[in-house]
Chain A
Amino acid sequence: MTVETGIVGFVALYIFMLAAFTGYEVIGRVPAILHTPLMSGSNFVHGIVVVGAMYALLNASTTPEQVVGVIGVFLGAANVAGGYVVTERMLDMFKSSNPARK
């Protein structure tokens, strides 16, 4: 069974367009009170780059590729871990004096 997985041309553009509108809509309704945690949260989400860096490093075949790949995985891992910890710490502090209100 071979599955055609190439994302090329207009399919890529469709994905980008729909993702862009999704991001716009999801953030558009956020109250200012959550802007900093949300910036931090979206910062965490683009930490997915670490998966791409893992792919690049695992497929490296020369020393320069390996060196740059290691840097990429290290930076991506820091993005993920730091982004998560910082966001979680910020959000953990949010609480209401009266949860029933609002």
Chain B
Amino acid sequence: MTTSWIIQATDFLAAFLFIYGLKRMSSPVTARSGIRVAGYGMLLAMLAGFLYVFGVGPEAQPHLTMNFALTVGALFIGIGWAWRGGKKVALTDMPQMVALYNGMGGGAAGAIAAVELLGGKADNAVHLAVTLVGAVIGSVSFSGSLIAWAKLDGRINKPWRVNGQHIYNAIVLLITLALGIAVAVGVPGVPTNVLIAIFFGIALIYGVMATMPIGGADMPVVISLYNALTGLAVGLDGFILQNPALMIAGMVVGSAGTLLTLLMAKAMNRSVANVLFSNFGDVSIESEGEIAGSMKAVEASDAAVAMRYAGKVIIVPGYGLAAAQAQQKLYEFVKTLQAAGVEVKFAIHPVAGRMPGHMDVLLAEAGVPYDLIAELDEVNDEFKGTDVALVIGANDVVNPAARTDKSSPIYGMPILNVDYANQVYVLKRGKGKGYAGVENALFYADNTGMVYGDARETLVKMIAAVKDLGGDAAA
């Protein structure tokens, strides 16, 4: 009795700490303490989890020593492996790590449902139905997140799809549901464990098939969706296990993740259904595609000097900045401009990069103070009076076609109005690299100069060019 009371009190405290931690994470000032608060909650809940040892049922008693050893071993390996992986990975690779660890959570949720099904522990219809739903959601989130991880990590480069894929996907989903019912009612002559194994296998295949056709640029929305789904599966598992901490934490993440998914899809001016089923996402948001034509190439040093003598510069970073690992050099360049009295701001499009806020993290890594960073709504009216807009490795998020060209696939998406600035410089990797994206009229505009080359090397040249001009010559 005492141990069960301790477990419940700890879980209650953990649930409080999770919500309070998330709340603190919602402001940049308190965010760092927020994750620690949630971390303490997790530590407490996990330590209390060992008290389950004192409450195991009679049929599991003979296996207790073995189970305890397995639990400790699996915890040790899982934590050690992920801790090392999370510490080692470069900050630009964070989005795929979120996808990976999210998939792990989904897999764990699916595994819990599997154990309950294998042990025949769901004793009434509601319990059984919730277990089956949790199993499907957890499994789909697991395999889907792993595909998202592979895509972001560059292990799968092309969307993979066949004609009529929606129909095949729908069929696979229906088979999954049918197998779920088969598991529930039983099929004469087929062992239940075999049915359960097939059921999970098909659910995992569905996750792969649903994610494969979606292009890399849409992965942020997909990861956010799977994050929400994992939360939902965890919440349902909490109901199965009668654990309110899981129910609350899972459902909080489920709804928060859903909201985040909707916000992201809205920023791209698309519905979530459109992202999942229309498959145009391979027209990359930050495509490296190059269009042959009359774009004006500009030397890095000329562009740098122009910015040195400008009154105000707004910088628009995109995925290219992350790909070139140029964030440190960029901030160094910004500091030389600031030293020369130029007002510098960063404008971040909601879907720049691979995840919402990806650019913010990247700039934060370089040490850029967050009050220099402005969001689309705050900054969009400022471009008109700005001397120079510097676009680094961003493409579709600054494409004026989204405002004017109804035939463009990105028509209607809110963009940063960099073309209203007096002068625009665009840093791009060399011509003919990567795959072709949507044509960008900005690159052909009269007030646009293209600076070709690796963003990092270009910025090094720019820093040198500004320094050559000498200290604080009046503009």
Contact = CB atoms under 8 A, between A and B. Distances in A.
B370 A74 contact: no
| Residue among A27, A96, A98 with max Cβ neighbours from chain B (10 Å) | A27
A19 B252 contact: yes
B317 interface: no
Contacts of A93: 91, 361, 364-365, 367
Query: Which of A12, A61, A69, A97 gathers most chain B CB within 10 Å?
Result: A61
A28 to B, nearest CB: 6
A67 to B, nearest CB: 9
Interface in B15-74: 18-19, 21-23, 25-29, 31-32, 34-36, 38-39, 42, 45-46, 48-50, 52-53, 56-57, 59-60, 62-64, 66-68, 70-71, 73-74
10 contacts: A33-B375, A41-B34, A42-B231, A47-B105, A51-B46, A59-B119, A81-B82, A82-B83, A88-B32, A96-B369
Contacts of B81: 78, 81
Interface string A56-67: 111111101110
Interface of A: 1-3, 5-7, 12, 15-16, 19-24, 26-62, 64-66, 68-99, 101-102
Contacts of B453: none
Interface in B205-251: 223-224, 227, 230-231, 233-235, 237-239, 241-251
Contacts of A79: 82, 101-102, 104-105, 108
B250 A37 contact: no
B105 A43 contact: yes
A98 B62 CA distance: 62
B237 A49 contact: yes
B362 to A, nearest CB: 9
Contacts of B8: 5
Given A32-B360, A58-B64, A96-B28, A48 B45 contact: yes
Interface stretch (B256-264, B415-423, B438-446): B256-264
A81 B35 contact: no
A92 B343 CA distance: 26
B156 interface: no
Contact of A86 (B31, B70, B94): B94
Given A45-B252, A47-B42, A87 B35 contact: yes
A31 B31 CA distance: 12
Closest 4 CB pairs of A and B: A77-B78, A72-B111, A97-B369, A85-B86
B85 interface: yes
Nearest to B377: A32
A55 B365 CA distance: 39
Given A33-B370, A55-B49, A45 B74 contact: no
